[in-house]
Chains A and B, each alone.
Chain A
Amino acid sequence: METFAFYVFAAIAVIASLLVVAQRNPMYSVMLLITSFGALAGLYVLLDAPFTAVTQIIIYAGAIMVLFLFVVMLLNVPREEPLPSAIAGMLGPSGMRLGAVLSVLLAAEVLWALSRIAPGSFAPEHAESVSSVANIGRMLFTQHAFAFEVTSVLILVAMVGAVVLARKEH
């Protein structure tokens, strides 16, 4: 049953992600990205990490994608326009070669990372630490307190930057 659910969610995630880049209509891309995030949340549930699954939905599928939708709706570009020459130049043969090299690099990185996973690292005692919200909170505020605080400062900086950019000059 769980294996079946895994294949269903994985297939949805992969197909939706591929379709995101294959779409001409940005609105459909956004919707497919949300679908893909939803499928990922399903995978997190299967991994006994309900908190991660729910935050995935709330933050990515809920908050961030709504902003994406906003931008797409406000710009109102139902079809992608022919690109201006500066960007079109990057889509020429040389740009494509660069893209090919980058994707090969990415694939190599993923393979390298996967090959380094020790067989025991998915033992149940590790799963325990992500399945309970209390544990995640404790880890976040003790072991990873520095990273947590730095991230919050980073977000604050982004917020201040957005306010400065959005403010009208009088």
Chain B
Amino acid sequence: MAAWMPSPALLAHLGLIFVIFQMLVLSAAFMVWMERKVCAYIQDRVGPNRVGYAGWLQPFADVIKLITKEELRPKAADALLFSIAPVISAAAAFAAFAVVPFGTSTTLFGLLDEPMPLQVTDVNVGVLVLFAITSMGIYGIVIAGWSSNSKYSLLGGLRSSAQMISYELSYALALAAVVMLAGSLSLREVVMSQSGYWWGFIPKWYIFLQPLGFFIYMCAGVAETNRAPFDFPEAEQELVAGYHTEYSSMSFALFFLAEYVNMVTVSAVATSLYLGGWLGPLLPDWLAWIWFLVKVFLLLFFYVWMRWTLPRYRYDQLMEFGWKWLLPAAVLNLLATAALVLWIG
């Protein structure tokens, strides 16, 4: 092989990154379709059913519509920050998935000398990296709110950042309890520590040890992704469309994409931390990623279901819930977990 040729391992890795990226984009498209379909059935309608079989091609039609629309920018907006904001949002959403493992390892049916783990990168501080990237995503929203030079955008951006800061604490404390149990910050090792069964049939998933932690994680996750019932940044009765009021065309689509990719990431991380990741019965090792997909899909469905079932909270209720209930509960959960870990050793 010539020296300038990249090694097969490197090519496989780049291929993996490409596949994950495409899967995330496709999952966002799928989520748009699922959201509209589920919402329709919950409201006793049929939903999109004209473009493709059962409306399958509807998201793609939407994307084409968005691409061909005119890109508008308010005259008084800050041009540079206005165009950077959606890029920051989308980039942070995609980058967070890099540390999530979704399967064991593969040699691509013998093509590679060494097995390649199904994960972009296994950092030994993976949980913290995830947390760092999520906190960067806030900037996209804040900057969008400020640079649009519109009161609705500004209020939306402010609300969103206040909400994210408030819930990030509970989110981090819930994660810390799992890290304590697993004894590692690498997501792959957290998943591996959940293998096996209690009494032969209950899987050793952390959801059974951390029911409160799982609840806190899911609440904080919904608040972090700005979804109903915590979707204040875009509460249309009060704020028109919140921080993306002034955005149109593809820059609007990027915010939309970021929101859905964030949902997928939050669900994937919940799967890894609480539901045993790709671990599951029946399937052989090389097909284990199917379990991962099934679990993530169920969580995403739960998200959509919740959005169309629960009404939006009031803003002061949200803050009160976050600071006076969720945070103390997360602290108690952490202390109890620490005591448990020390007691058992």
Q: How large is the interface on A (under 10, 10 to 19, 20 to 34, 35 or more residues)?
A: 20 to 34
Select one of B125, B131, B142, B185 contacting A66, CB under 8 A: B142
Contact B158 A70 (CB under 8 A): yes
B135 within 8 A of A: yes
CA distance A133 to B124 in the complex (A): 8
Question: Contact between A62 and B161 (Cβ–Cβ < 8 Å)?
Answer: no
Asked if A73 meets B157 with Cβ closer than 8 Å, knowing A54-B129, A63-B135, A133-B185, the reply is yes
> Which residues of A, 44-69, contact B by the 8 Å Cβ criterion?
50-51, 54-55, 57-58, 61-63, 66, 69
Task: Give 9 closest A-B pairs by Cβ, nearest first.
Answer: A62-B135, A57-B132, A54-B128, A58-B132, A50-B125, A54-B132, A54-B125, A73-B146, A69-B142
Question: Known interface pairs A58-B128, A66-B165, A133-B125. Does A27 touch B146 (Cβ–Cβ under 8 Å)?
Answer: yes
Contact count A vs B, C-beta below 8 Å: 60
Interface of A is mostly: helix
Contact between chains at B142 and A73 (CB < 8 Å): yes
In the bound assembly, the distance between CA atoms of A54 and B99 in angstroms comes to 13
9 inter-chain pairs at a CB distance below 8 angstroms, sorted by A residue, are A51-B125, A54-B129, A58-B128, A61-B136, A63-B135, A66-B142, A69-B146, A70-B158, A70-B161
Contact among B135, B146, B162 for A57, CB-based, below 8 A: B135
Give bound CA distance, A154 to B165, whole Å: 22
Cα distance, A63 to B169, chains bound together (Å) = 10
Q: Does B266 contact A (CB under 8 A)?
A: no
Q: Chain B: which residue is nearest A58 at the CB level? A: B132
State the Cβ distance, A18 to closest chain B Cβ, in Å.
18
Instruction: Report whether over half of chain B's contact residues are helix, strand or loop; otherwise say mixed.
Output: helix
Given A50-B124, A70-B162, A73-B154, 11 more A-B residue pairs with CB atoms under 8 Å apart are A27-B81, A34-B139, A51-B125, A54-B125, A57-B136, A58-B128, A61-B136, A63-B165, A66-B142, A69-B146, A70-B158
Q: Min CB distance, A53 to chain B, in Å?
A: 8
CB distance from A133 to the nearest CB of B (A): 6
Given contact pairs A63-B165, A66-B161, A132 touches B132 in the complex (Cβ within 8 A): no
The reply to whether A27 and B136 form a contact with Cβ atoms under 8 Å apart is no
B104-146 interface (Cβ within 8 A of A): 123-125, 128-129, 131-132, 135-136, 138-139, 142-143, 145-146
A51 to B230, CA, bound (A): 32
Least CB separation from B139: chain A residue? A34
Give B193 Cβ to nearest chain A Cβ, in Å. 15
Query: How far apart are the CA atoms of A70 and B160 in the complex, in Å?
Result: 11
